Amino acid sequence: MGKALRLSEKWFRRGLWLVAFVFAGFLIGLGGTLVGDLPKVEQRLTLDDFLDRATAERLRADIKAGERAQRDAQSALEQVRLKLQVARADSNSARETFNNWLATRRATQLAEQDTELLARTRQLDALKQAERSAQAAVEQQEQAALDARQRQERSRRSLTDMQQEAGKRLSAEQRKVELRVFLYRLALTLPLLAVAGWLFRHKRRSTYWPFVWGFILFALFTFFVELVPYLPSYGGYVRYAVGILITVLAGRQAILALERYLQRQKAAEQKPDAERREELPYDTALARLAKGVCPGCERPVDLKNEKIDFCPHCGIGLFDRCGHCATRKNAFARFCHACGTGAAAPGSAQPAAAGA
């Protein structure tokens, strides 16, 4: 159709299409902001909303208390281990000294050293007892650390079990929220699609067609970008079912539109040539001829063949002779390209295309 338009008209149309796209862009921005705020209608859910708060707080407090008790027990354990090392060192040193002294005692066999032997033995026993006490303190602190760790683990397991159960309920509720938000989007999108369909059917060729097409683009963008990606999944069943439904509906409409088009074409081909030419828009006829197809039936025609003046498929006239200069011209042209005479000038006769 562009070849049949005036140069200024082409640029005006391009500018109007730019207006349509800019208008659609602002509508898309506004719609995107509105759709993005729709989830705020629903309350934001967290895991704590599905927990027994009192029990959860008690378990968290137990975990923290267990951590503190474990740290305290670990610190005390390090202290008593250090004391145990000192006691062992003292005991080993005293035992080594005692063994050396005992060896000397056996060598000298001095009876007056029996009292010192008893004293040294008692001292060694005292050090050994201190070592055993330190060992008992270490074992006690290890037991305290183990008890604190086990209490903490029990509390943590109980809290984890509660959180897992709450997570299941949270996931179920989130699916419900997603479904409600999707229904909000659907309630916003379907009226837009309905209005866009009505505008496409009745107003796409009106004076304000740039705004009509801008709104149509906005509605399509809202449907395919703001709605379709948020279809609830449920394992993919919903999305595939919706895809099948949309495909069936769109395919059915395409099939019906094709049948209606073919019926209109058949009915048009039964009409007289002059009536058919009057019903064809001038720009449409020139655009189809520029594409090498018949303006009436849209089938391919060899327009470069000067012997073809009528469509061999539907019989509509494609070329005729100027009534003033008899030049072969486009039958849909309003003026003769050779002499400029109007195609329907008063008093002008249209000779037969083949006999001129």
DSSP result, 2-34: GGGS-HHHHHHHHHHHHHHHHHHHHHHHHHHHH
* Rounded (5°) CA angle 229-238-223: 35
Half-sphere exposure of 170 (CA within 13 A, CB side): 15
**Does the pLDDT at position 81 exceed 70?**
yes
Contact between residue 323 and residue 349 where contact means Cβ atoms under 8 Å apart: yes
Q: Are residues 68 and 152 in the same domain?
A: yes
**pLDDT tens readout for residues 237-295:** 666 777 788 889 888 988 888 888 888 878 877 788 777 777 788 888 888 888 888 88
What is the total count of domains within the chain? 3
Question: Token digits for 151?
Answer: 């209490």
Does the pLDDT at position 196 exceed 70? yes
**Do 281 and 250 lie in a common domain?**
no
**Inside any domain, residue 118:** yes
Q: What is the rounded average pLDDT of the residues 181-189?
A: 82
* Angle, helices 7-37/114-202, rounded to nearest 10 degrees: 140
Amino acid in position 323: G
pLDDT at 27 over 80: yes
Residue 272: per-residue pLDDT: 81
Taking the complete model, does pTM exceed 0.85, yes or no? no
Q: Are 260 and 313 in the same domain?
A: no
Q: Which residues pair with 317 in a beta bridge?
A: 310
Q: Are 151 and 250 found together in one domain?
A: no
- Amino acid 318: pLDDT: 87
What pLDDT does 1 receive? 42
Closest C-alpha to 31, from 196, 246, 185, 212 = 185
Note whether 72 and 154 are same-domain residues: yes
Task: Write out the residue range of the structural domain in which residue 240 sits.
Answer: 233-270
Q: Is residue 137 part of a domain?
A: yes
Shared domain for 142 and 69, answered yes or no, is yes
- Determine the average pLDDT of the residues in 213-221: 89
Q: Last residue of a domain, which of 137, 159, 180?
A: 180
Confidence label for 22 from pLDDT (cuts 50, 70 and 90): very high
Token pair, residue 81, equals 């281990």
Domain shared by 58 and 162, yes or no: yes
Tell me how far apart the alpha carbons of residues 254 and 232 are, in angstroms, rounded to a whole number.
Answer: 27
The torsion of the CA quartet 144, 150, 154, 160, rounded to 10 degrees, works out to 120
Report if residue 198 sits inside a domain.
no
Evaluate if residue 297 carries a pLDDT over 50: yes
- The rounded distance, in Å, linking the Cα atoms of 299 and 292 is 9
148 within 8 A of 70, measured Cβ to Cβ? yes
Domain contains 211: no
58 and 141 both lie in a single domain:
yes
Average pLDDT for the chain: 78
What pLDDT digit, counting tens, does each position of 28-52 carry? 888 888 777 776 766 777 777 777 7
Q: Which of 350, 328, 331, 352 is nearest to 339 (CA)?
A: 328
> Are 256 and 298 in a shared domain?
no
pLDDT at 173 over 50: yes
Q: Would you say 282 and 334 are in contact if contact means Cβ atoms under 8 Å apart?
A: yes
Residue 234 in tokens: 């449920």
189 domain-assigned = no
Query: What is the spatial distance between Cα 268 and Cα 315, in angstroms, rounded to a whole number?
Result: 11
What is the spatial distance between Cα 269 and Cα 261, in angstroms, rounded to a whole number? 12
Please indicate, yes or no, if residue 186 is contained in any of the structural domains: no
**131 and 244 housed in the same domain:** no
Within a domain: residue 34?
Answer: no
Average pLDDT (296-306) is 86
281 in the same domain as 261: no
Evaluate whether residue 28 is within a structural domain. no
Token pair 């003026």: residue = 335
Same structural domain, 139 and 247: no
| Distance (Å, whole) CA 303 – CA 330 | 10
CATH of the domain at 108: 1.10.287
